[in-house]
Structure 1
Amino acid sequence: MDSIIQSLFADLEAKDKNAQYEAFKKLLAVTEEKVDWTYEVWNELVENLTDKDPHQRARAAQFLAALAISDPEKRILNAFPTLWNVTKDPKFVTARHSLQSIWKVGLAGPEQKEMVVDQLVHRYHDCLGEKNDTLIRFDIIQDLRKLYDRVQDEAIKKVALELIATEERDKYRKKYSKLW
């Protein structure tokens, strides 16, 4: 890992919230492409998924999801249950940020894609009646759209449209449909 990346990870712990946010944005941008330093931060990120600080949990989830494309050992398959738990975090903003990035795991390969899609489908059905269920469902449909846009797998589109069709509330069915 080069000194710039090390510095960005160090800045995540800075006292200045602006410095933290800038480092976070830069790291997310860097992880849009494959990187060669994934395993240098992997264990710490996995540990941070259960940190007492919700910001640490959210950041760790977003970074791990993004780093899945740089995970030739497929460690994400073992880490995924813990990562997925953050999408149901008691702190809704943490859960939502994690859920909004989970689709990136599906970019890592067919096995990871299937795992993510399956979990999103289950969550779509299971969240009904929860507080903010419409936001959760919107994020799930949006995740499927983002994954579809990147991998062009018609099966993902089919799944998304089938989920939307199960939405009984007209207002939300229309809202979710607009994503497609």
Structure 2
Amino acid sequence: MDNQVQREFEKAKSKNKHERYEAYCKILEATEETVDWAYEVWDQLVEDLTHQDNHVRSQAAQYLANLSKSDPEQRILRDFPKLWTVTKDEKFVTARHSLQSVWKVGLAGNQPKDMVMKHMVDRFHQCTEEKNYTLIRSDIIQNMRNLYDILDEEEIKETAMELIATVDEKKYKKKYEAIWK
């Protein structure tokens, strides 16, 4: 890892809100591409998934999702349950940011893709008891759209359409369908 990226990880834990946010953006940008330093931060990020500060949990989840494509050992298969837990965080904004990034795990290969798809399908069916479940469902459908746009696998689209077909409320069904237009 170069010194600049290392400094950004240090700044990401700064007390200065502006400095922290700037570092967060730079780390997300750096992890959009495959990197060779993922394992230098991996274990700390997994540990941060249970940090007392919800911002740290959210960022760790987003960084890990991004870094999963830089994970030739496929550690994400072992650590995914911990990442998925943050998508159900007590702080809804933390849960939502984590859920909105989790689709990127699906870019790490067939096994991670199948795993993240299964979790999203199960969550789509089970989340109706959760507060803001329509937003959760919308995020899941958007996640599938994001995966489909990159991987161009018809099975992803078919799964999303099958989920949308189970929705009874017309207003939300239309909203979810609009994601695929």
User: Structure 1 length normalisation: TM-score?
Assistant: 0.99
| Percent identical | 58
SS at match of 1:51: coil
Residue 84 (str. 1) matches residue 81 (str. 2): no
* CA deviation string 1:141-169 (max 9, x = no partner): 00000011111110000000111111110
* CA deviation string 1:110-167 (max 9, x = no partner): 0000000000000000001321000000000000000111111100000001111111
Letter in 1 for 2:111: E
Structure 1 position 52, deviation (Å): 1.1
Structure 1 position 14, deviation (Å): 1.6
* CA deviation string 1:82-131 (max 9, x = no partner): 10000011111110000000000000000000000000000000001321
Matched residues in 1 for 2:157 and 2:11: separation? 39
Structure 1 position 15, deviation (Å): 2.0
Matched residues in 2 for 1:17 and 1:149: separation? 34
Unaligned segments of structure 2, at least 5 residues: none
User: Structure 2 length normalisation: TM-score?
Assistant: 0.98
Matched residues in 2 for 1:130 and 1:36: separation? 38
More off after superposition, 16-25 vs 76-85: 16-25
Within a 5 Å distance, the mapping from 1:107-126 to structure 2 comes to 107-126=107-126
* CA deviation string 1:37-60 (max 9, x = no partner): 000000000000011111111000
Aligned length: 180
Unaligned segments of structure 1, at least 5 residues: none
Runs of 4+ residues over 3 Å off in structure 1: none
Within a 5 Å distance, the mapping from 1:97-136 to structure 2 comes to 97-136=97-136
Query: CA RMSD of the aligned region, Å?
Result: 0.6
Residue 28 (str. 1) matches residue 28 (str. 2): yes
SS at match of 1:128: helix
SS at match of 2:179: coil
SS at match of 1:13: coil
Residue 149 (str. 1) matches residue 149 (str. 2): yes
Matched residues in 1 for 2:27 and 2:68: separation? 14
Letter in 1 for 2:60: A
SS at match of 1:127: helix
Q: Residue 39 of structure 2 aligns with which residue?
A: 39
Matched residues in 2 for 1:168 and 1:18: separation? 43
Matched residues in 2 for 1:130 and 1:39: separation? 34
Matched residues in 2 for 1:17 and 1:116: separation? 32
